[in-house]
């Protein structure tokens, strides 16, 4: 029977490992500008107190207290913030706090503060998500308190889902789906698919991980890009991406990862394609702590595809159609894909062949050395202190081969399975 893949491979609706695109998940050390300046230190302490009151108001769902820390003159901000708090009403928050990094005074009674909003979703996040914000504040001469006059993402940082509309919450057995401007039945289907993905990943990846996944479904690809702090053009053919801190802390894999769905690309996939996408992304969540800057993209993406397809009885040329076409046309790749081959917004065929080549490399390792060796290889590469030598050393110590031998075996494997 012919298998319809609905463009899942040709458009490669997968996520690449994102080391730098996840600014919302980077943690910063707390600091204040010019320590030792009494006036500035006092202002920083008072601003912290203002933000503490604001955090308490969010956790208590107290609109009056939330608005009380905003400047009475900032009418547009007050209206927007009232809406944002209402949009958050159904999100199960475990914690919400602000960490002040720098305070820059602007004359008497005005300042700009660079802060990190840090929050956790109850039952899902083992560590806080962190979002960099820039606040403008004004000090009231009457009561001496600081009030927020403006609140925006820091330069290059991403926005938040609740700033896009009322957040709908759908709970699954292993998933939490947060959506904006999407039908509830669609969010339920996403949760059901994620619920199947989690045990599939757990069966393939033996290490401890959260075994839960948070999925964000914004209203459009433009909104998706807003959550990633990137242009929408980068994601038009991409069904989902995973955000997270590459390498993590080493203690809480998948501590605060998010799978972000592009509704336009995801919904046109069939059931099979959607399952592959969410299983692939969930694999990134599970393996996050072992994915580091030492890990080449062909390995992180190829392994995620290996997990997504491992229980599917489908011919290799249906899973890797672009690469199969190239091999049959006499264009056998000279080497494994490099990181640049996985860039979004370029040649779709080249991107597809890169993903397929990474998947075939992981298939080769499983076929010749076994699944346990593939997992050990993944851990060894990610645990290397730097990119240089990471793959080479793991090939030697785990698989007992060399880059040259492995590359030749991979090319022979492509010819045998796809030719």
Cβ-contact 131, 117 below 8 angstroms: yes
Same domain, 213 and 191: yes
Q: Write phi, then psi, for 260 (nearest 5 degrees).
A: -110, 125
Same domain, 369 and 397: yes
**Per-position pLDDT tens, the chain of length 419:** 222 233 333 333 333 333 333 322 322 223 333 445 666 678 899 999 999 999 999 999 999 999 999 999 999 999 999 999 999 999 999 999 999 999 999 988 999 999 999 999 999 998 899 999 999 999 999 999 999 999 999 999 999 999 999 999 999 999 999 999 999 999 999 999 999 999 999 999 999 999 999 999 999 999 999 999 988 888 888 999 998 755 444 444 456 799 999 999 999 999 999 999 999 999 999 999 999 999 999 999 999 999 999 999 899 999 999 999 999 999 999 999 999 999 876 788 999 999 999 999 999 999 999 999 999 999 999 999 999 999 999 999 999 999 999 999 999 999 999 99
Same domain, 297 and 419: yes
Q: For residue 74, is it within any domain?
A: yes
Q: Name the region of 120 (left: φ>0; alpha: ψ -120 to 50; beta: rest).
A: beta
Same domain, 284 and 184: yes
* pTM of the model as a whole: 0.87
Cβ-contact 327, 419 below 8 angstroms: yes
Q: What is the pLDDT of residue 92?
A: 97
Q: For residue 54, is it within any domain?
A: yes
Q: For residue 99, is it within any domain?
A: yes
Q: For residue 301, is it within any domain?
A: yes
Residue owning tokens 């820091």: 154
- The C-alpha atoms of residue 14 and residue 183 are separated, in whole angstroms, by 23
Residue owning tokens 């996403």: 190
Q: For residue 26, is it within any domain?
A: no
Same domain, 55 and 141: yes
From 110, 142, 157, the end of a domain falls on: 157
Cβ-contact 225, 186 below 8 angstroms: no
Q: For residue 370, is it within any domain?
A: yes
Same domain, 166 and 255: yes
Tokens standing for residue 262: 């592009």
- The C-alpha atoms of residue 297 and residue 358 are separated, in whole angstroms, by 8
Tokens standing for residue 115: 């802060």
From 290, 309, 334, the end of a domain falls on: 290
Same domain, 252 and 166: yes
Same domain, 153 and 168: no
Same domain, 180 and 260: yes
- The C-alpha atoms of residue 130 and residue 29 are separated, in whole angstroms, by 12
- The C-alpha atoms of residue 296 and residue 358 are separated, in whole angstroms, by 10
Same domain, 167 and 271: yes
Same domain, 224 and 282: yes
CATH of the domain at 5: 3.30.2010.30
Q: What is the pLDDT of residue 107?
A: 84
Same domain, 164 and 282: yes
Q: Name the region of 6 (left: φ>0; alpha: ψ -120 to 50; beta: rest).
A: left
From 243, 260, 290, the end of a domain falls on: 290
Residue 389: which domain range? Answer: 292-419
3-class secondary structure, 95: strand
How far is C-alpha 274 from the chain's CA centre?
17
Number of domains observed in the structure of the chain: 3
């Amino acid at each position: 029977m012919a298998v319809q893949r609905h463009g899942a491979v040709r458009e490669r609706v997968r996520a690449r490992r994102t080391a730098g695109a996840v600014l919302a998940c980077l943690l910063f050390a707390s600091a204040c500008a010019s320590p030792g300046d009494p006036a500035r230190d006092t202002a920083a302490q008072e601003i912290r107190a203002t933000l503490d009151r604001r955090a308490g108001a969010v956790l208590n769902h107290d609109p009056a207290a939330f608005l009380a820390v905003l400047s009475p003159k900032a009418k547009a901000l007050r209206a927007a913030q009232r809406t944002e708090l209402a949009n958050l009403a159904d999100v199960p928050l475990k914690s919400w706090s602000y960490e002040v990094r720098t305070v820059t005074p602007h004359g008497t009674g005005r300042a700009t503060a660079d802060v990190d909003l840090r929050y956790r979703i109850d039952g899902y996040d083992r560590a806080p998500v962190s979002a960099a914000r820039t606040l403008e504040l004004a000090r009231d001469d009457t009561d001496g308190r600081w009030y927020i006059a403006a609140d925006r993402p820091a330069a290059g940082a991403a926005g938040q889902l609740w700033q896009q509309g009322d957040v709908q919450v759908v709970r699954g057995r292993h998933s939490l789906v947060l959506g904006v401007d999407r039908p509830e039945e669609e969010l339920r289907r996403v949760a059901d698919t994620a619920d199947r993905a989690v045990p599939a990943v757990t069966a393939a990846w033996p290490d401890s991980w959260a075994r839960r996944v948070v999925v964000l479904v914004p209203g459009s690809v433009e909104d998706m890009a807003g959550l990633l702090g990137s242009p929408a053009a980068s994601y038009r053919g991409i069904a989902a991406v995973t955000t997270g801190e590459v390498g993590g802390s080493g203690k809480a894999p998948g501590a605060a990862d998010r799978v972000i769905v592009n509704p336009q690309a995801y919904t046109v996939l069939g059931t099979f394609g959607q399952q592959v996408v969410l299983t692939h992304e969930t694999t990134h969540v599970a393996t996050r702590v072992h994915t580091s800057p030492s890990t080449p993209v062909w390995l992180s993406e190829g392994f995620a595809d290996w997990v997504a397809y491992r229980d599917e009885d489908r011919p290799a040329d249906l899973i890797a159609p672009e690469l199969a076409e190239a091999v049959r046309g006499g264009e056998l790749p000279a080497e494994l894909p490099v990181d640049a081959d996985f860039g979004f917004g370029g040649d779709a065929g080249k991107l597809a062949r890169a993903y397929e080549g990474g998947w075939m490399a992981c298939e080769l390792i499983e076929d010749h050395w076994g699944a346990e060796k593939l997992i050990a290889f993944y851990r060894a590469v990610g645990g290397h202190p730097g990119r240089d030598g990471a793959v080479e050393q793991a090939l030697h110590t785990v698989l007992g081969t060399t880059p040259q031998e492995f590359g030749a075996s991979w090319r022979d494997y492509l010819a045998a399975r796809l030719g």
